[in-house]
Amino acid sequence: MIQIIHGKKGTGKTKKILDMANEAVKNYKGDIIFVDDDNRYMFDLKHEIRFVNAGEYGCNSPEMFLGFICGMLSQNFDISVIFVDAFLKLVKCDVEKTEELFARLEALTAAHNVQVIISCSVDDKVAPEFMKKYFI
C-alpha cells in the first residue's frame, strides 16, 4: 500500500511525515524505516525507527530508488512500513516521469505486505492522475 502526503513546498509535509513515523512506533509490530535525502531530521525520530540517508548511497533516479527499496526489503523481512521524505529530491526527476515507479512499487508493497508513505512536493492542480489515488 502506498500513501502520498502532498502539497506545495512549505505546507508542513515533513512535519506530518515525522509525526506519522513517530506515531507508527505504537501501531506497527514490524520494523519502521525512515528514508530521507540527508541527515537533517535524524534526531526528530524516535530511536526505534531506522533512519536511512539515501543521499549517501547515490540514489538519484526512479530506477535506483526502486532498487534501494528492494534491497531493504530483501535484507529485512520484518519491515512493516517505510516513510520516504523529499521523494522528488531522491528520484531527481519530474513527477510525471514516476508512473512506472509507482506501478512497480505498488506491486512490491503488495507482495511483501509493506506500507510506503511518501512526502512529495506536488500540488493537487498539477499532480498527474496516476498519483492522485495515493493521496491522503
pLDDT at 15 over 90: yes
d(CA 120, CA 8) in angstroms, rounded, equals: 8
pLDDT of 125 over the 90 cut: no
- Domain span holding position 32: 2-132
d(CA 33, CA 92) in angstroms, rounded, equals 21
Mean pLDDT of 95-108: 94
CA distance 126 to 14: 20
Write the pLDDT tens digit of every residue in 79-97.
999 999 999 999 999 888 9
Find the CATH number of the domain harbouring 22.
Answer: 3.40.50.300
| Res. 10: pLDDT tops 90 | no
How sure is the predictor about 110, in pLDDT bands with cuts at 50, 70 and 90? very high
> Which cell numbers hold the place of 43?
534526531
Q: Of 52 and 126, which is predicted with more confidence?
A: 52
Domain count, the chain: 1
Average pLDDT, the chain: 93
Under DSSP, is residue 3 helix (H, G, I), strand (E, B) or coil?
A: strand
Provide the pLDDT for residue 59: 85
